[in-house]
Amino acid sequence: MSLLEVKDLTVTFAGGIEAVRGVSYEVSRGEVLGIVGESGSGKSVTSLAVMGLLPENAQVSGSVKLHGRELLGMREDDLIKVRGKAISMIFQDPLSAFTPVYTIGDQIAEAVRVHQRIGKDKAARQAVELLDLVGIPHPDVRARSFPHEFSGGMRQRAMIAMAIANDPDLLICDEPTTALDVTIQAQVLEVLKTAQRETGAGIVMITHDLGVVAGMADRVLVMYAGRPVEQGPVDDIYYRPRMPYTMGLLASIPRIDGEEGPLVPIEGSPPSPRALPPGCPFAPRCPMKVDACDDEEPDLTAVGGGRQVACIRSREIEDKGLTGADVFPVPVIPADELVRVPRAERSTVLELDGLVRHYPLMKGSVFKRRVGTVYAVDGISFDIAEGETLALVGESGCGKTTTLQQIMQLEAPQDGRVVVLGKDSANLDRSARKALRRDLQIVFQDPMAALDPRMPVGDIIAEPLRAHGFPDRVDELLELVGLSPADAGRYPQHFSGGQRQRIGIARALALEPKLLVLDEPVSALDVSIQAGVINLLDSLKARLGLSYLFVAHDLAVVRHLADRVAVMYLGRIAEIGTVENVYDRPAHPYTQALLSAIPLPDPAMERSRKRILLEGDLPSPADPPSGCRFRTRCPLFARLPESQRRRCVEEEPSVVRQARDHGAACHYAEEIEVITASDDQEEK
Amino acid sequence: MRNKVVLRRLLANRQARYGLIALALLVVLAYFGPYIGAHDWSEKDFLSFLSAPSADHWWGTNQIGQDIYAVTLHGMQKSIVIGLLVAVISTGLAALVGASAGYFGGWLDRAMTWCVDLLLVLPSFLVVAVISPRLKNASWLWLVVLLAVFGWMITSRVVRSMTLSLREREYVLAARYMGIPGWRIILRHVLPNLSSLLIIDATLNVSGAILGETSLSYFGFGVQPPDVSLGTLIAAGSDKAVVYPWLFFFPAGLLVLLVLSVNLIGDGLRDALDPGSTR
């Protein structure tokens, strides 16, 4: 008998908005079910409904059975006994999931004591054991820490410890690693696997990241517009998808082992639950749509092999063996003229030479005194040639954003030089700075925050034009990024995330800049939308001869868009070179770990892949380790004999050339392949 | 583009339309109403003191035999101008000072905050008492200036602190990186995003100024007897409101109507500026 049985679950919010429209699934003991979908597809609401945690204005109908016992309509008193004991939940944001005024140990002990009749001391001991299990160093000491003293990754581990405290039968994980950096994500996923092994629990894993699901799940449920559209074993879904939406989703993800070239976007955006199309909700975006699709919404029907698909043409897809790349139109991106010119002969648009930015750490409210220095950016150098894309990658806190700000401000840096289009930022006067701003524009990460909510789109795009006395060409710009000139009178909030990002790009392009700085331009977007924006950036670059400085934490996107890549760690560059060199032959241990931590949307590869797991968290930039900054977490350092370690502790490595256009800041750099490295290869 | 869009949204708003019509009617009443009435505001009818509303004196008379209809409308002419001007000037001053202090920071912020704090601590009547002899025979427009100058400080502190957080928004950053000068960023990005607060503040200021003007009359400026304003009429009528209600209720009623129509326009303007409102 299955552990959890959900049947025809529907959730209706006030105003008749159906967020979930008939979801059915089962989870057995020890099984991992991945629920995948874009934002607004109803995947989180489904799990909240299972837990009985939805607000009172939500009407839930259908059936949710745990061990054959109906949970819907159960009295709150009884439900409390189930929650945290038989089912527990791991939330996305671990900071808001802990009470800030109690210690982590107390909160875990409380979770134990709520459901088990044991003494305080014993519960506290159990809390320490649990923290040990999830890999928190010095668990007896850390149990007495408060949540804010933990880093994001440690908090998420503590959250897992709390969730498994009562040996639950079912764990619901709602985007458990979305807020974390990749190397930390790899650690947490590993802990989650350990936790499942220890408790034998079934797991419902909700995420939008198809790579995470590929590595964790046994079965996958794909949701779209509040309904499951495809369900089946993980290999079938990934290798033989039968629903066009799943096919498009899989084809649209950029992959670190992927081919270069255009991605496959799904046109349009998910429907609003207020205005669902008549028939199949995916029909308006579906390239395989036929007239019959509009007649009625297809049911989820079993097609054998434990699979269910909601598409009237699924049999045809099966017979013809179609994939996303066959079905969805792949845009043609014109080749860049400049690329054929050798790099050395192109002019340099941006040059950073030993850029330094330190922030003073102040203490005291009345008499401020300096108690330390945050080494945000500590001497980095790189250059960008005309028509080239350089990606700056690294985890949060590595100094990417500070570097961007230093470039955009066009003011004299604390130390080092910033040269934009041959002009040193230290020698600029007011008018020269303003003139230079024309050629240097930025696209921000969050498309909502970067557009003035009180300004019609036409004004937003016209603003740079007016400021620099350009003729009005708002309509032309809107068309350039794939929007209609009729949209000029609407406000930013009337657009979807992807469209807003296009508006941001149109504004940045208004002045025909030569260098465009992209600050995580796609990380706030859903996968299917992301592909469209990446393709747009790619084609604009070729058409307008732009150069990009692209800041990102997503290495897969970088592989698609960038020509060269610089990996940053704690304010320094760890490795720099062409994308092929850095991705296929990474030389710095940090780059290797970063690349190996990224989950691939490929279940077979994920299962056999060998991971380089990093220990611990990023050290504070206010107190970087001596010598090589990475040595505290370095797997190579751990393997080195004492005599060689000395050099890492005492001497700070600088970027050393490995090959043509490839350099790494490591004393003992060795190139290895990590993306496709598997356990079998290791044995050979 | 924005002006056109906002104007279209404002005119499409029912509240705003009613408000604008009501305000227009009140202005027409104040300036053309006296011609319809049988009595002039300065004329005294010695045959009827404190008489109730009748066919001859539509809104009754006061203790010296003035026709309340004529007097109230005459007072309202001044009060509309005072109320609207003071509201616009003091809210505008608060917005500009607060936003530039918050946006530019540094010494400008310190100097402006210091001035604001000083004005807040100084009792305003003291300052007025000191300068009032010099303005003894000056125009009543000085009253507007004084009322505005003493009414903007608290709002400007609120505006300043809100600007501090707006300054860090990415769209402001984007504008700065585009090379747009600071004062234009304030006018184009900061103030529109504070418009809800500023509009509410301005509507409150209208009634505040009309009533507050009476306290300054004490020092001898502006509206001096025998001249009247809505404020002085309400002040004079309030102690007789129970026995001779017409002395109080007609001026007070007009004030309520005036404030209500300004409120409706304010609400409409707020909705027109805020793309989040569904109307």
DSSP sequence for A386-443: TT-EEEEE--TTSSHHHHHHHHHHTS--SEEEEEETTEEGGG--HHHHHHHHTTEEEE
Q: Which of A444, A454, A456 sits opposite B174 (nearest CB)?
A: A444
Q: Is residue B225 scored above 80 in pLDDT? A: no
pLDDT of residue B18: 92
Q: Show the beta-strand stretches assigned E in A175-287.
A: 202-207, 219-224, 227-233
- Retrieve residue A206's tokens: 């909700």
- Name the DSSP letter for residue B66: B
Q: What is the CA radius of gyration of chain A?
A: 26
DSSP A55: -
**Length of chain B in terms of residues written:** 279
Contact A514, A546 (CB under 8 A): yes
Q: Could you give the percent of chain A with pLDDT greater than 70?
A: 97
Instruction: Answer yes or no: do B171 and A433 touch at CB < 8 A.
Output: no
Using an 8 Å CB-CB cutoff, list chain A residues near B270. none
**A130 touches A164 (CB < 8 A):** yes
Residue in B1, B174, B274 nearest the CB of A459? B1
> CA-nearest residue of chain B to A406?
B177
CA distance A270 to chain B (A): 21
C-alpha to C-alpha distance for A39 and A564, rounded to whole angstroms: 32
Strand A32-36 and strand A219-224: the pairing is parallel
Tokens encoding A150: 């933990």
DSSP state of A292: G
Q: Find the distance separating the first CA and the last CA of chain B, reported in whole Å.
A: 19
Residue type for A60, please?
V
The position carrying tokens 């529907």 is: A10
**The two three-digit tokens of residue B35, written as one number:** 């011609």
Contact A346, A385 (CB under 8 A): yes
Q: Which residue from A306, A312, A300 is spatially nearest to A24, judged by alpha carbons?
A: A300
Fill in the amino acid letter for B201. Answer: D
CB contacts of A446 in chain B (<8 Å) are: 170
**A183 neighbors A594 (Cβ within 8 angstroms):** yes
Closest listed residue to residue A492, CA positions, set A533, A460, A532, A462? A460
Structure tokens of A40? 């607004």
**Minimal CA separation from B270 to chain A, in Å:** 11
pLDDT at B279 over 50: no
Q: What is the DSSP letter of B187?
A: I
Q: Please tell me whether the peptide bond between A284 and the residue prior to it is cis, using omega within 30 degrees of 0.
A: no
Residue B51 pLDDT grade (very low, low, confident, very high; cuts 50, 70, 90): confident
Sequential DSSP letters for A307-321: EEE--TTHHHHHHHT
Residue B90, Cβ neighbours under 10 Å: how many? Answer: 26
Q: Find, among A254, A263, A171, the residue nearest to A217 by Cα.
A: A171
Count A/B contacts: CB-CB distance under 8 Å: 73
How confident is the model at residue A339, as a pLDDT? 64
Residues linked to residue A568 through DSSP beta bridges, in sequence order: A573
pLDDT tens-digit readout, B2-33? 788 888 888 888 888 999 999 999 999 888 88
Element spanning B175, H or E: helix B170-177
Q: Yes or no: say if A146 and A104 are a contact pair by the CB < 8 Å rule.
A: yes
> Is some CB atom of chain A closer than 8 A to the CB atom of B64?
no
Buried/exposed A235-245: b ≥16 CB within 10 Å, e otherwise: ebbbebbbbbb
* Token pair belonging to B274: 């805020």
DSSP type of residue A584: H
Under-70 pLDDT residues of chain A: 1, 258-261, 336-340, 365-366, 677-684
With H, G, I as helix, E, B as strand and everything else as coil, classify residue A204: strand
Strand order in the sheet with A17-27: A17-27, A4-13, A59-66, A69-70
| Helix H or strand E segment including A59 | strand A59-66
How many whole angstroms separate alpha carbon A270 and alpha carbon A272?
A: 7
In angstroms, what separates the C-alpha of B184 from chain A's closest C-alpha? 10
Is the ipTM value over 0.90, yes or no?
A: no
Please tell me which of the candidates B5, B171, B177 has its beta carbon nearest to residue A452: B171
Question: How far is the C-alpha of A183 from the C-alpha of A160, rounded, in Å?
Answer: 17
Contacts of B193 (CB under 8 A, 6+ apart): A452, A453, A454, B166
